[in-house]
Amino acid sequence: MTSYAQLHEAAQASLAASTRVVVQVGHCSQAVGATQVAEALQAELSGYSSVELVIAGCDGACFAAPQVIVTNPSNSIQRYSQVSLDDVPALAATLTHGDAAQSHPFVNGGRGDLDSFFAAQTRLMLTRCGYIDPTSINEYIALGGYRGLNAALSQSPEEVIQTVLDAGLLGRGGAYFPAARKWQAARAANESPRYLVVNAEEGEPGLFKDRHIMEGDPHLLLEGMLIASYATGASETYIYINAEANLSAHRIEMAIGQAQDAGLIGDNILGSGFDCQVTVRRGAGGYVCGEETTLLDTIQGNRREPRLRPPFPAESGLFQRPTVINNVETLSNVPMILDSSVPSVPPELRPVAASRDKVGPVEGQPESEFPFLPPFLKGSREGFSFLGLDSAKGTKLICLSGSVQRPGLAEVPMGSTLRHVIYDIGGGPPPGTDLGVVAVGGPSSGVLPPTELDTELRPGMLHPSGVVMGAGGIMVMAEGVPVIDVVRQLAAYNAAESCGKCTPCREGTPRMVQVLDRLASGSGSTTDLDELRYLAEIVGAASLCGLGQMSGGPINSALHFFGEELGKLAE
């Protein structure tokens, strides 16, 4: 049996003091050639043992992909953005000659400003994403990984639950139910075995936060999952990954194998007497699979339909046994809550933001760890509890897309405003365009006008018309995009993804699309607006799951904020 201290010592000793070339390859950056850039660099550098090539996940700066980050033993750090295959030979030549800092810019003119993108965030969960090797458990442990699990195993499960309860961690899947309350309910159930299920389905359009964690820092998820399993008494854990998230599944499965070899998954973990087995299951296809009872039924081999509740999963879930279901972002907060110490980041692994208005090599970077993150907040319990609102502690991952200069994945304190996310992080609309409709929270939420940019992102209703933060997707439209087109797209998605179990949802969501199409074609009437209000109400009231219950949000919010624009279509 190996102790955590032994694992940590061996992991730190394994870090090589060499020039390190990190290529960020994730689900998003693959679309712009990151895999090809990595392969070409690997071929160019294959004969140089002094240069270590690392394939990392992405850091969330999607607008700058593909990114290459170079560090060397003297602690100089250079970032190259939007690297193309044509740039690789010259970049490799400068690396092998040991002078990357003086090289010409290898990048095309990039959009936005990396420094501003990172400086406007407060990163706790994402500090390592894009900078460490996601296939190396040693790097994760060397940075303090699994220290939270080690701390948890020295306490009773009840003490762990109380710690998480005191920290104020809410679920991050959209409902924002206190995570520790779920754990308490499952632990109190007088049945065994108990199960923990990780919801990594993430099928909502405009969402890509969970994939970033699984691809860039998979052991963070595994550590949080193991702590939750210990607290709830779950000896078996399932990770339910979207059927199309192949890279996420690959890196999670590799991380599970490494954790098993290290004695962190399996029997008698770290000598604690705690046993836990982990299984990966792929999603059954479809947005509704993210609904927790539907997810459970698909694991069991049943049709992808929601269950009638009660009983709730904590009482009767997977295989009719007590089950906790937490999503990836929720569990990724848990390790820092259990480990109050601040991780020490070796110089060769330190990330750095590019200097203002430069997209190529950066000179004269400060030597502080994570320069875009306040040192006293880095990955600590105090950092989590210090941030956010009294009613919602910590940070929230936000997926920003659409008509902004810096789209990507951001991490901000709970209570941050839409204006901060869209302008300070996203850079606002591209030059020559203005802001139009903002869709917040996906198809199960609603739309807001530019006048509502000071709305705080928080759990619960952001506006009585049905706008919620949801899982954290924000899609920005340019001025001039008709609101009817936006609402019609959201309604059509709900109609296509309805499982069909509930008649009001099965029949009502397509009817919403038909009425919206009639308005968009110019053949609508005022009775169509009344019918939309009726459909939004009846489908929401008579549906079993969130898809139907929240399907009226886009319509109600559009009628409230853009009533005049829609009224003209009904004349």
* Residue 340: per-residue pLDDT: 66
- Helices 179-188 and 157-167 pack at an angle, to 10 degrees, of 150
- Helices 157-167 and 218-232 pack at an angle, to 10 degrees, of 120
Which two tokens mark 257?
């194998």
Handedness of CA 225, 228, 230, 232 (dihedral sign): negative
* Residue 179: per-residue pLDDT: 97
* Residue 98: per-residue pLDDT: 57
As a three-state string, the secondary structure of 235-286 is EEEEEEECCCCHHHHHHHHHHHHHHHHCCCCECCHHHCCCCEEEEEEECCCC
Q: How far apart are alpha carbons 29 and 16 in whole angstroms?
A: 27
Judged against a pLDDT cut of 60, whether residue 337 lies above it is answered with yes
Annotated domain spans of the chain: 16-131+346-368, 145-338, 395-478, 487-569
- Cβ within 8 Å of residue 138, ≥6 positions away: 10, 11, 14, 15
**Fold agreement (145-338, 487-569):** no
Q: Which helix (H) or strand (E) holds 151?
A: helix 147-153
* Residue 341: per-residue pLDDT: 60
* Residue 16: per-residue pLDDT: 72
pLDDT digits (tens, 9 = 90+) for 514-543: 999 999 999 999 999 999 999 999 999 999
* Between 105 and 192, the higher pLDDT residue: 192
Q: C-alpha angle 368/371/377, rounded to 5°?
A: 95
Judged against a pLDDT cut of 80, whether residue 369 lies above it is answered with no
Residues of the chain with pLDDT > 70, as a percent, come to: 89
pLDDT digits (tens, 9 = 90+) for 422-479: 999 999 999 999 999 999 999 989 999 999 999 999 999 999 998 999 999 999 999 9
CATH class of 395-478: alpha beta
Q: How confident is the model at residue 75 (pLDDT cuts 50, 70, 90)?
A: low
What's the first-to-final CA gap in the chain, in angstroms? 76
* Residue 499: per-residue pLDDT: 92
Q: How far apart are alpha carbons 228 and 225 in whole angstroms?
A: 5
Q: What is the amino acid identity at position 226?
A: L
Which two tokens mark 390?
């009294």
Judged against a pLDDT cut of 90, whether residue 386 lies above it is answered with no
In CATH, which of 3.40.30.10, 1.20.1260.10, 2.40.160.20, 1.10.287.3510 is domain 16-131+346-368? Answer: 3.40.30.10
Q: How confident is the model at residue 362 (pLDDT cuts 50, 70, 90)?
A: very low
What pTM did the predictor assign?
A: 0.90
Domain covering 487-569, topology? de novo design (two linked rop proteins) (1.20.1440)
Closest CA to 82 of 108, 60, 53, 59: 108
pLDDT digits (tens, 9 = 90+) for 166-197: 999 999 988 899 999 999 999 999 889 999 99
In CATH, which of 3.40.1280.10, 3.40.50.11540, 3.10.180.10, 3.30.390.50 is domain 145-338? Answer: 3.40.50.11540
* Residue 361: per-residue pLDDT: 30
3-state secondary structure of 76: coil
Which two tokens mark 241?
């990954």
